[in-house]
Amino acid sequence: MPSLSGRSALITGSTQGVGLAIASALFAAGARVILHGLSEDEHAKQSLQRLQDQERRTTLITGDLSSPMPEGPLRLAEEAIRQCPGIDTLVCNAGTFIDQPFLEMDFTTFDRTMKLNVYSQHVLIQHFARRWVELKIPGRILLIGSINGRLSEPTHVAYDTSKGAIEAMVRSLCVTLAPWRIRVNGLAPGLFRTPLTEPGLRDVRIRRWMELHTPNGQVPGPDACGGAAVFLLSDEAEHVHGQMLLVDGGMSAWQQPDPPPEWMPNG
């Protein structure tokens, strides 16, 4: 695995799921890690204990990034810098997902989704980028999108819209910040087993369909994202700018798999 020794990273939404997997991979690659979560619950405490050694002290900052705006993200950024002035890596993973039919969706739902999934990332990135430009720090930014930024679902309009915006941010921020040696890339997970998806995947039929819809036939745990994140933030990816890496088992490449014979009317 590439080395991130000497680097310090803030990872938002990192006390469980994909965020924790990325934080764990960065820590294993040698980075100092600052975790972030909504509250100091049991998940957060266990995650903090998991990422400790004698040389690197992992810390946890809690807070809601969506409310108030922009004060929530700014508080997180300022506290992270207070704890670790040398932060040079930012991973924007925190987000929300709401499954709701578009015609029934109220504005509050759409607004909260955009605040957490898009606006908070804008505020954090701008704050760190200004600091890095002033101090001539070659920062690295990784935005966590989703396969839903390219493949839509009928009851996920708010989520899909926000993840499409993340892809646009990756490209736009790349061309904006590259002259200051700040690299911006994105990572788009497909379907993983996380606390958010496990309830649905317990249905054998749903899980079987998702496995069939993925060329490699797997629905892995979130650890499958870790190595990709380390690579994009490492020196080995120095010439990789403005890219969205899909970690989806090939799902986005497959238009529509055939259902198994036993699911057909005469099967």
The predicted pLDDT at position 97 comes to 86
Dihedrals phi, psi of 59, to nearest 5 degrees = -120, 165
Task: For residue 226, give Cα distances in angstroms to 3, 109, 119, 222, 253.
Answer: 13, 30, 25, 8, 22
In this structure, how many other beta carbons lie within 10 angstroms of the beta carbon of residue 101? 10
The structure's pTM equals 0.92
Residue 35 confidence (pLDDT)? 96
Query: What pLDDT is attached to residue 195?
Result: 78
Asked if residue 195 belongs to a domain, the reply is: yes
Position 56 scores a pLDDT of 74
pLDDT digits (tens, 9 = 90+) for 115-146: 999 999 999 999 999 999 999 999 999 999 99
In a domain, 74, yes or no: yes
pLDDT at 264: 62
User: Which pLDDT does position 218 carry in this prediction?
Assistant: 87
Give the model's pLDDT for residue 54. 60
Query: What percent of the chain is helix, strand and coil (3-state, nearest 5)?
Result: 50, 15, 40
In a domain, 264, yes or no: no
Inside any domain, residue 266: no
CATH number of domain containing 93: 3.40.50.720
Q: Which two tokens stand for residue 104?
A: 């029934």
Structural domain contains residue 263: no
Q: Note the helical H segments in 51-106.
A: 71-83
Instruction: Examine residue 206 and state whether it is found in any structural domain, yes or no.
Output: yes
For residue 50, being part of any structural domain is answered with: yes
Domain hosting residue 99, numbered range: 8-246
Question: Whole-angstrom Cα distance, residue 107 to residue 80?
Answer: 32
pLDDT of residue 266: 64
Name residues of the chain where pLDDT drops below 70.
Answer: 54, 260-267
The tally of domains found in the chain comes to: 1
Position 125 in a domain? yes
